[in-house]
């Protein structure tokens, strides 16, 4: 009964802010989700074969499920949901079933405003149900991408580091290879070049694993133009590690980033897309910025956050501007959302 009353209070807050109920499907096509939204979900999915032999899964993530419904039914763009996500975990104490209440702004037209609205709505919901000692942890995946793109290194390395940022262990291996200047070997390089010229003969509009041939060729084109060795790897890795070590209170962040840019002789405008994080100062909350935060979900592209009550994580979310396109939209549809974990309340 207590849980029901808390849910009702949270939903009331969502409705006041203009969010409309959406009920995403519980069953999803497993391979579709894995191919479109990343390998991260494969190990955590609860899967089974239906009567037609098709591999299905219980939804592992309500954001992905909501996006699928949005694309299928052209539902409202400002939604809330109430339901369960089903995930296996290596942590034996973790819940298999997570009861969630969440919100999404799909087709977000104003990044700074909508990022703030999502976080503020979740924060107000937590306060409505008397959560105490609230703290917020934030990061921004786009800042890392901006840094990498500004560094003077082969495009091949830039693509690789950005693509695998969400895989910390493998990412660390890549940094060690870059540090030792051990770029891609000649056999792999020549294989990529051969595949590039083979794909140029294919219909450019054809889709392979969720991307058009023309999109794949653009990426390959950048890769095969790169040199096979790079001599500044050690210094580049030092800069990257220095950035990923930034951990401070939000009010200290401006100075931290300015000092970082000066120390590494980098351009002042690298972090120009920084308004969403700065705007969070209006929340008047205890907020920590951690540059290395937000890497555990592959589809995040911008601001990422977690809200804690004491030591318990009660909510998390972030911006995911590429996910809807990967799920079948014709173009990128900017979006941001968050979910409250009722199991921890």
Can you list the domains of the chain with their CATH numbers?
Answer: 2-132+330-344 (3.30.930.10), 154-244 (no CATH)
Q: What pLDDT does 120 receive?
A: 96
DSSP-assigned letter for residue 184: -
Tens of pLDDT, residue by residue over 205-261, are: 787 766 677 877 776 665 555 544 456 888 999 999 999 999 999 999 999 999 999
Q: What is the mean pLDDT of residues 100-115?
A: 94
Identify the three-state secondary structure at position 61. coil
CB atoms within 10 A of CB 225: 11
Cα 97 from chain centroid (whole Å): 22
d(CA 242, CA 168) in angstroms, rounded, equals: 16
What are the angstrom distances between the C-alpha of 287 and each of 113, 199, 258, 314? Answer: 18, 48, 19, 15
DSSP bridge partners of 315: 307, 340
Lookup: tokens for 150: 């500004």
Sheet holding 27-29, edge to edge: 27-29, 55-58, 46-49
The single residue listed with the structure tokens 């799909």 is: 106
Of the two residues 265 and 73, the one the predictor is more confident about is 265
Mean of pLDDT over the chain? 86
Range of 23-32, 43-52, 257-266, 287-296 with top mean pLDDT? 257-266
Mean of pLDDT values over 122-143: 92
Instruction: State residue 39's pLDDT score.
Output: 63
Global confidence as pTM: 0.81
Judging by beta carbons within 10 Å of its beta carbon (0-12, 13-18, 19+), is residue 192 exposed, middle or buried? middle
Mean pLDDT on 133-144: 94
Per-residue pLDDT at 70 exceeds 80: yes
- 135 Cβ contact list (under 8 Å, min separation 6): 285, 286, 287, 288, 307, 308
State the sign of the Cα–Cα–Cα–Cα dihedral 281, 241, 145, 105: negative
**Helices 155-163 and 141-150 meet at what angle, rounded to 10?**
170
Q: Choose between 51 and 75: higher pLDDT.
A: 51
* Nearest one of 214, 167, 158, 222 to 193, comparing CA atoms: 222
Biggest CA-to-CA distance, the chain = 64
Would you state the pLDDT for residue 48?
Answer: 86
Closest CA to 7 of 149, 167, 189, 129: 129
CA 265 to mean position of chain CA atoms = 29
């Amino acid at each position: 009964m207590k849980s029901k009353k808390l849910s009702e209070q949270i939903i009331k807050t969502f409705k006041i802010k203009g969010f409309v109920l959406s009920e995403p499907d519980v069953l999803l096509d497993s391979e579709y989700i894995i191919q479109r939204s990343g390998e991260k979900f494969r190990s955590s999915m609860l899967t089974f074969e239906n009567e037609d032999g098709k591999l299905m899964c219980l939804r592992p993530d309500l954001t992905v499920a909501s996006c699928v419904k949005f694309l299928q039914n052209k539902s409202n763009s400002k939604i809330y949901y109430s339901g369960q996500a089903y995930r296996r975990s290596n942590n034996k104490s973790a819940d298999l079933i997570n009861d969630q209440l969440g919100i999404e702004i799909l087709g977000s037209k104003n990044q700074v405003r909508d990022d703030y609205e999502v976080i503020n709505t979740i924060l107000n919901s937590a306060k409505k149900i008397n959560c105490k000692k609230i703290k917020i942890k934030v990061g921004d995946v786009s800042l890392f991408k901006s840094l990498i793109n500004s560094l003077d290194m082969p495009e091949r390395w830039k693509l690789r580091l950005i693509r695998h940022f969400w895989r910390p262990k493998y990412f660390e291996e890549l940094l060690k290879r870059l540090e030792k200047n051990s770029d891609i070997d000649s056999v792999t390089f020549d294989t990529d070049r051969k595949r590039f010229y083979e794909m140029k003969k294919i219909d450019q509009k054809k889709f392979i694993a969720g991307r058009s041939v023309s999109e794949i060729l653009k990426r390959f084109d950048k890769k095969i133009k790169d040199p096979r060795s790079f001599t500044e790897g050690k210094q580049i890795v030092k800069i990257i590690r220095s950035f990923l070590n930034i951990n401070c209170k939000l009010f200290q962040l401006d100075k931290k980033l300015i000092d970082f840019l000066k120390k590494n002789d980098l351009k002042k405008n690298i972090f120009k897309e920084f308004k969403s994080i700065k705007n969070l100062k209006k929340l008047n909350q205890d907020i920590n910025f951690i540059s290395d935060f937000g890497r555990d979900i592959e589809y995040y592209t911008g601001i990422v956050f977690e809200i804690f009550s004491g030591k318990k994580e009660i909510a998390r979310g972030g911006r995911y501007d590429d996910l809807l396109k990967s799920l079948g939209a014709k173009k990128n549809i900017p979006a941001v959302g968050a979910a409250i974990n009722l199991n921890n309340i």
